Amino acid sequence: GIQVEQSPPDLILQEGANSTLRCNFSDSVNNLQWFHQNPWGQLINLFYIPSGTKQNGRLSATTVATERYSLLYISSSQTTDSGVYFCATVGASGTYKYIFGTGTRLKVLA
Amino acid sequence: NAGVTQTPKFQVLKTGQSMTLQCAQDMNHNSMYWYRQDPGMGLRLIYYSASEGTTDKGEVPNGYNVSRLNKREFSLRLESAAPSQTSVYFCASSNTGGGYEQYFGPGTRLTVT
């Protein structure tokens, strides 16, 4: 099955800094989602982005499907951005079996 | 719209006890999913239901059963709980499976002693 790897595993930033999180996948995909899990455990949808670029405020994401990776950009980070960021996908074969990466744990310091 | 709801929020079981986790969605989605998340880990798929009346195993199905009661509801049952099933359980739904965005419930924190 498809493998999903995220980097870096941990990231500590000073408030106001920018960061890039990466998600690599081992096969073609027709679905790629980014989630933020906040410190209370809630999973928040950030982007549904099987290809191309999307922006939402200080966050943006780019998926280059042909090269099998996706990037999540966080600009002007805030303490509320702290938590774990996951990417998840299924293979292009149409399986319903979503695979999650192991996440990037972000801590933003005031 | 409430989105995806789960009950209960917290549960403590003794080894060998059984329980059912409930999930409901009000987005008219066809597909529903159950995941578990162990500490410091990503989510792993337990079972999914591509559409009403169908269920299939995910990555870690052993020790669980599911029922797709109707289009709105998808339950997860632990017949004989084990300490290894201590985890946070998330339910999700999507419009039709692999090509569509998933939406998650708030989770159930289960401890088995």
* pLDDT confidence band for A94 (50 / 70 / 90): low
Place of tokens 């965005």: B101
Name beta bridge partners: A25: A4
Q: At A44, phi and psi to the nearest 5?
A: -110, 125
Give B-chain residues touching A42 at CB under 8 angstroms.
Answer: 106-107
- Look at residue A10 in the predicted model and tell me its pLDDT: 97
Q: Is A104 in contact with A87 (CB distance < 8 Å)?
A: no
- Six-digit token pair at B10? 């917290």
Residue A90 contacts B, CB cutoff 8 Å:
yes
More confident of the two residues A72 and B59: A72
* pLDDT per residue as tens digits for the range A47-71: 999 899 999 999 999 999 899 999 9
Q: Is B14 in contact with B74 (CB distance < 8 Å)?
A: no
Average pLDDT, chain A: 92
Q: Is A23 in contact with A69 (CB distance < 8 Å)?
A: yes
Give A-chain residues touching B99 at CB under 8 angstroms.
Answer: 30-31, 50, 90, 94
How far is Cα of residue B81 from the mean position of the Cα atoms in its chain? 15
- Look at residue A93 in the predicted model and tell me its pLDDT: 64
Note which residues in 29-58 of chain A have CB less than 8 A from chain B: 30-31, 33, 35, 41-43, 45, 48, 50
pLDDT of B12 above 70:
yes
* DSSP labels, A61-86: EEEEGGGTEEEEEE-S--GGG-EEEE
pLDDT of B85 above 90:
yes
Residue A103 contacts B, CB cutoff 8 Å:
yes
- Look at residue B2 in the predicted model and tell me its pLDDT: 83
- Look at residue A90 in the predicted model and tell me its pLDDT: 81
DSSP state of B53: T
Do B59 and A48 make contact, defined as CB atoms within 8 angstroms?
no
